[in-house]
Amino acid sequence: MSNRLNVLKTCKLYIGGKFSRSESEHYFQALDKKQKPLANLCRASRKDLRNAIQAARKAQADWAGRTAYNRGQILYRMAEMMEGRRDQFIAELERAASSKRRAENEVDLAIDRLVHYAGWTDKYPALFSSVNPVASPHFNFSIPEPTGVVGIVAPDDHALAGLVSLIAPVIAGGNSCVVLSSEKLGSIACTLAEVIHSSDVPGGVVNVLTGFRDELVPHLSSHMDVNAVLCAADDPGQKKTIQENAHLNVKRVHFYDGTDWMKEGAQSPYYIMDFQEIKTTWHPVGT
Amino acid sequence: MIPDFKQAIPVDQIGVEERVARFRTRSIKKESKLFALKLALQMVDLTTLEGMDSPGKVRQLCDKAMYPYEADPDIPKVAAICVYPNRVRLAAGVLKGSGIHVASVATSFPSGMGTLESRIDEVKYAVDEGADEIDMVISRWAFLKGEYDYVFDEIAAIKEACGPAHLKVILETGELETYENVRKASDIAIYAGADFIKTSTGKISPAATMPVTLVMLYAIRDYYLKTGSKIGMKPAGGIRDAKTALHYLVMVKETLGADWLTPDLFRFGASSLANDLLMQIIKQKTGHYQSPDYFSIG
């Protein structure tokens, strides 16, 4: 019995609330820190990306229309579900790239970060809205509204903390997102997708793809139905591609590379505001 | 000459569905895809059939038909617009000189439950108002009761009332239940004088499906082999994306031949399909996936 073969997990893509294999049927193998096979990952094609963006678009309006309180409940539920899988995350992180101690730190931080943003969902609009003084007899309000569909290019280091730190503020603000996970640590993203799937997040609000970023970033950044791109990967070529393609439909672009997601301060409502648009409305006084 | 409609023509259900499954595996790329997308756009009957169709909405739809996407002059116009009879005059006025046909549903659309006289009057009214294509519905109650002569005679009477206008006969396949019935209704419509046979009103589900359309294409093929006349086909309802439209084109080409790949003999009854075709055409040309945000509502 001792010489049985390990069954390697094939991590699937998470698109529109369903786990599916790549339409291309291509796979690649992720290695652990000892260069041993860790998992088989789907190599997402541009059609998978297109499907994910369609799913994100479809889900966005309903998600933004939920009450802020409900979005907070769901983010908190994500934290609860992660807590339940704490040991699994620690084991996976440790095996892939980390020491036990650092892995524990990272998982705890990721869970706490979700709780942090869960608390912000019904507070940031009040904090960042304003009633503006105007000369005419009108009320004049400015309020933040979600940008829409956000493409997220995940960082390679601190796969779990980084991923949660990017996804949480984006969805807390009512956006939906398509995540291109780290190539090396795609299996962590896949496990996170399983957590998201089991925690009341409506299908399509978070979509997770594994694959080669060089193949996917050009299509993500040129897709006309993506409203913003958040890139936390430190790759000058990909950053240039994103900036060049963003002009097509004037995407909002933010680069977060160089941020240490393990720091306490790498969380704030300003991360939510990075993917909000300020809308100003006028209302006549007295009617 | 006219067959005995009481005699059922057997349809191999498994065969039809497996044949359709094969069509769905075809993949068309590059220049051929661009050609097919443009062809499909030229075959669209841009349709609005709602109780809330205001004159403004119909005018907007006509504009969409004439200028689907002005940023690219290479984009073709659609074949026709399809409206209720009381909006025909308006549409005909706006579309005058554009070469786009004005189709009108008539004959107590969508149920067909009016008296024959009132249905014929409606057809005459629509033609007088300027419709050059009439989409009629058959009396499904009579068909399902086995009164095939009644259905045949009503189609013939309405064909006569159409005068110079083309007649499309809607079978409403979603209510006919079996492929045999679809085949039979197709034959009745064709022999009674239909220029086109059309799957559905779009008001009930399921609307157009590929297997049902294939059965109707077989009826058209058999009639062509027997008489040499070409009858047109119009699947309507439920065709929303370009990919499905291309599968239909493949099915038509491989069942009836390239002669039918023209708006004169094949149409799509649809509203949202046009925008998806436009988005795919622009995608083919630019290489960038498109967003509905940048295409007019229509």
Least Cα distance to A39 among A83, A87, A97, A82 occurs for A97
**Each residue of A233-245: pLDDT tens digit?**
999 999 999 999 9
* Distance of residue A245 Cα from the nearest chain B Cα, in angstroms: 10
B291: which chain A residues are within 8 Å (Cβ-Cβ)?
Answer: 223-225, 249
Percent of chain B with pLDDT over 70: 100
At CA A19, angle to CA A13 and CA A22, rounded to 5?
45
* Cα separation, A50 vs A52, whole angstroms: 5
* Cα separation, B147 vs A177, whole angstroms: 57
Is the Cβ of B289 closer than 8 Å to some Cβ of chain A? yes
Interface test with A, best of B286, B289, B290 (most A CBs within 10 A): B289
Collapsing DSSP states into helix, strand and coil, what is residue A228? Answer: strand
A222: which chain B residues are within 8 Å (Cβ-Cβ)?
Answer: 287-289
A222/B288 CB distance under 8 A:
yes
**Residue B8 counted as domain residue:** no
Is the Cβ of B6 closer than 8 Å to some Cβ of chain A? no
User: Does the pLDDT of residue B225 top 60, yes or no?
Assistant: yes
Contact partners, residue B29, CB within 8 Å, separation at least 6 = none
A224/B294 CB distance under 8 A:
yes
**Residue B14 counted as domain residue:** no
B290/A219 CB distance under 8 A:
no
Percent of chain B with pLDDT over 90: 94
**Residue B272 counted as domain residue:** yes
Run means of pLDDT, 10 residues per run, chain A, 287 residues: 80 96 92 87 96 98 97 97 95 89 95 97 96 95 97 91 96 98 90 95 97 96 97 95 96 94 92 97 87
* Distance of residue B296 Cα from the nearest chain A Cα, in angstroms: 15
Least Cα distance to A181 among A96, A269, A281 occurs for A96
Q: How far apart are the first and last CA of chain B?
A: 44
Residue positions counted in chain A: 287
**Residue B25 counted as domain residue:** no
B291/A249 CB distance under 8 A:
yes
Q: Is the dihedral of CA B191, B193, B196, B200 positive or negative?
A: negative
Interface test with B, best of A23, A49, A224 (most B CBs within 10 A): A224
B289: which chain A residues are within 8 Å (Cβ-Cβ)?
Answer: 50, 53, 219, 222-225
φ, ψ of residue A9 in degrees (nearest 5): -75, 135
* Cα separation, A275 vs B127, whole angstroms: 55
* Distance of residue B84 Cα from the nearest chain A Cα, in angstroms: 31
Closest Cα in chain A to B290: A224
What is the helix (H) or strand (E) element at residue B298, kind and residue range? none
* Cα separation, B293 vs A3, whole angstroms: 58
**Whole-number pLDDT of residue A1:** 56
Is the Cβ of B292 closer than 8 Å to some Cβ of chain A? yes
Is the Cβ of B258 closer than 8 Å to some Cβ of chain A? no
**Each residue of B136-177: pLDDT tens digit?**
999 999 999 999 999 999 999 999 999 999 999 999 999 999
User: What is the value of ipTM here, to two decimals?
Assistant: 0.85
**Residue B262 counted as domain residue:** yes
- The type of residue at B57 is K
Collapsing DSSP states into helix, strand and coil, what is residue A160? Answer: helix
Closest Cα in chain B to A218: B288
Domains of chain A: 11-279 (3.40.605.10)
Q: Are A37 and A60 in contact (CB under 8 A)?
A: no
Q: Model's pTM, two decimal places? A: 0.90
Give the one of B289, B290, B291 whose C-beta lies nearest to A219's C-beta.
Answer: B289
Positions of B annotated as catalytic residues are 135, 198, 234
A223/B288 CB distance under 8 A:
yes
Average pLDDT, chain B: 95
At CA B211, angle to CA B207 and CA B212, rounded to 5?
50
* Token duo for residue B72: 């690219």
**Whole-number pLDDT of residue A185:** 85
A224/B287 CB distance under 8 A:
no
Least Cα distance to B216 among B152, B168, B259, B164 occurs for B168
CB pairs under 8 A between A and B: 24
What are the start-end ranges of the E strands in B209-282? 232-234, 268-270
User: Does the pLDDT of residue B298 top 80, yes or no?
Assistant: no
Laid out side by side, the sheet with B80-83 consists of B232-234, B196-198, B166-170, B133-137, B101-105, B80-83, B44-47, B268-270
**Residue B7 counted as domain residue:** no
> Which ranges of B131-238 would DSSP assign to H, the alpha helix?
140-145, 148-162, 179-192, 210-227
Beta bridge partners of A20: A13
**Residue B4 counted as domain residue:** no
* Distance of residue B289 Cα from the nearest chain A Cα, in angstroms: 5
**Whole-number pLDDT of residue B146:** 95
* Token duo for residue B205: 């589900």
Q: Are A83 and A109 in contact (CB under 8 A)?
A: no
A225/B293 CB distance under 8 A:
yes
Burial class (CB in 10 A: 0-12, 13-18, 19+), B294: middle
* Distance of residue B290 Cα from the nearest chain A Cα, in angstroms: 5
Is the Cβ of B29 closer than 8 Å to some Cβ of chain A? no
Interface test with A, best of B27, B284, B291, B294 (most A CBs within 10 A): B291
Least Cα distance to B44 among B276, B289, B286, B292 occurs for B276
**Whole-number pLDDT of residue A20:** 96
B288: which chain A residues are within 8 Å (Cβ-Cβ)?
Answer: 222-224, 248
* Token duo for residue B175: 């209510």
**Whole-number pLDDT of residue A287:** 62
A225/B290 CB distance under 8 A:
yes
What would the DSSP string read from start to end of B214-225?
HHHHHHHHHHHH
Laid out side by side, the sheet with A138-146 consists of A130-131, A138-146, A276-284
A223/B287 CB distance under 8 A:
no
**Whole-number pLDDT of residue A47:** 95
Is the Cβ of B287 closer than 8 Å to some Cβ of chain A? yes
* Distance of residue A56 Cα from the nearest chain B Cα, in angstroms: 13
**Residue B77 counted as domain residue:** yes
**Each residue of B246-262: pLDDT tens digit?**
999 999 999 999 999 99
User: Does the pLDDT of residue B186 top 70, yes or no?
Assistant: yes
Q: Are B142 and B150 in contact (CB under 8 A)?
A: yes
Give the range of the structural domain holding residue B160, as residue numbers without chain letter: 30-294
* Distance of residue A46 Cα from the nearest chain B Cα, in angstroms: 10
CATH at B177: 3.20.20.70
What is the domain count for chain B? 1
User: Does the pLDDT of residue B239 top 60, yes or no?
Assistant: yes
- The type of residue at B188 is I
**Whole-number pLDDT of residue B198:** 97
B292: which chain A residues are within 8 Å (Cβ-Cβ)?
Answer: 225
